[in-house]
């Protein structure tokens, strides 16, 4: 299945025979990798949490706890801020609060506030050296995703970096992944493509797009009992061994 034809004929998430974790102990067949950002590439939880509470305080609203922040990361930024502010992710206040958050969040990005997890940058570089094409898709805004990529020095290895505001529908819809596939190349075959993320919505988006869904257990979500992914890895070293058979 080519991503370019999947756009208008995306298979439902249960239409593909899902491989077992054991059948994906090797990822050597993967030729395209699209990465999530927060909790997958970048350890940015403190930046997101602190920026959220600053925006809420500026608006005269009660601050949130780290646990509430982690729960809210399943939403896009405007819906997350609306949920923190009112309990209703669809409340109209989300857009204004989300804009304030994005302005603060993007301005504070650095390799310290949104640095990559240990081992991630060498893995990105090694995949690129072995001919694996790569992209990035985040449910944060595109300006933030691109700032994180540049701050961590992997822009040369990434063909497409997209945020929720760059795509018709955010995750768990497959739109962003399909758009990333097209940007990476019209020869992309979804069956040799993987999306790597730390949230159940990442797994749902990958399955809806027809590609391999890879979960990582070092981000904001505990995936130890999740069935949203074809396979889940506990560490960057484990993920690298799956790609390179070491």
pLDDT digits (tens, 9 = 90+) for 93-135: 999 999 999 999 999 999 999 999 999 999 999 999 999 999 9
Tokens of 3: 């991503």
Sign of dihedral through CA atoms 74, 98, 36, 211? positive
Cβ atoms of 80 and 73 closer than 8 Å: yes
pLDDT at 226: 62
The strand pairing partners of 96, in sequence order, are none
Spatial distance between the Cα atoms of 37 and 15, rounded to a whole number of angstroms: 27
Q: Name the burial class of residue 135, with classes exposed (0-12), middle (13-18) and buried (19+) by CB atoms within 10 angstroms of its CB.
A: buried
Q: Which residues contact 33 (CB under 8 A, 6 or more apart)?
A: 127, 132, 133, 134, 135, 193, 194, 195, 196
Q: How far, CA to CA in Å, does 67 sit from each of 33, 63, 84, 152, 211? A: 30, 12, 11, 27, 31
Cβ atoms of 46 and 113 closer than 8 Å: yes
pLDDT at 27: 96
pLDDT at 148: 98
Give the residue numbers marked as catalytic.
36
Cβ atoms of 135 and 154 closer than 8 Å: no
pLDDT at 4: 27
pLDDT at 223: 72
Q: Name the burial class of residue 179, with classes exposed (0-12), middle (13-18) and buried (19+) by CB atoms within 10 angstroms of its CB.
A: buried
Spatial distance between the Cα atoms of 241 and 246, rounded to a whole number of angstroms: 5
pLDDT at 109: 98
The strand pairing partners of 215, in sequence order, are 197, 232
pLDDT at 14: 30
pLDDT at 190: 84
Residues in the chain, pLDDT under 50 = 1-23
């Amino acid at each position: 299945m080519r991503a370019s034809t999947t756009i208008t004929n995306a298979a439902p998430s249960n239409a593909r025979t899902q491989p077992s974790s054991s059948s994906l102990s090797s990822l050597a067949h993967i030729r395209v990798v699209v990465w999530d950002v927060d909790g997958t590439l970048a350890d940015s939880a403190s930046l997101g949490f602190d920026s959220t509470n600053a925006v809420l305080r500026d608006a005269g609203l009660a601050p949130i706890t780290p646990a509430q922040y982690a729960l809210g990361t399943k939403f896009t930024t405007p819906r997350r801020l609306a949920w923190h502010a009112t309990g209703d992710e669809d409340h109209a206040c989300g857009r204004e609060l989300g804009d304030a958050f994005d302005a603060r969040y993007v301005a504070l990005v650095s390799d310290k506030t949104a640095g990559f997890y240990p081992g991630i940058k060498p893995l990105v570089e090694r995949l690129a050296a072995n001919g694996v094409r790569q992209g990035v898709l985040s449910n944060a805004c595109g300006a933030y995703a691109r700032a994180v990529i540049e701050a961590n020095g992997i822009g040369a290895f990434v063909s497409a970096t997209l945020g929720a505001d760059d795509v018709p529908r955010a995750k768990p819809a497959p739109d962003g992944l399909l758009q990333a596939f097209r940007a990476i190349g019209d020869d992309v075959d979804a069956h040799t493509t993987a999306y790597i993320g730390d949230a159940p919505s990442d797994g749902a988006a990958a399955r809806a797009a027809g590609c391999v869904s890879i979960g990582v257990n070092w981000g904001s979500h505990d995936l130890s009992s999740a069935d949203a992914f074809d396979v889940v890895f506990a560490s960057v070293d484990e993920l690298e061994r799956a790609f390179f058979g070491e």
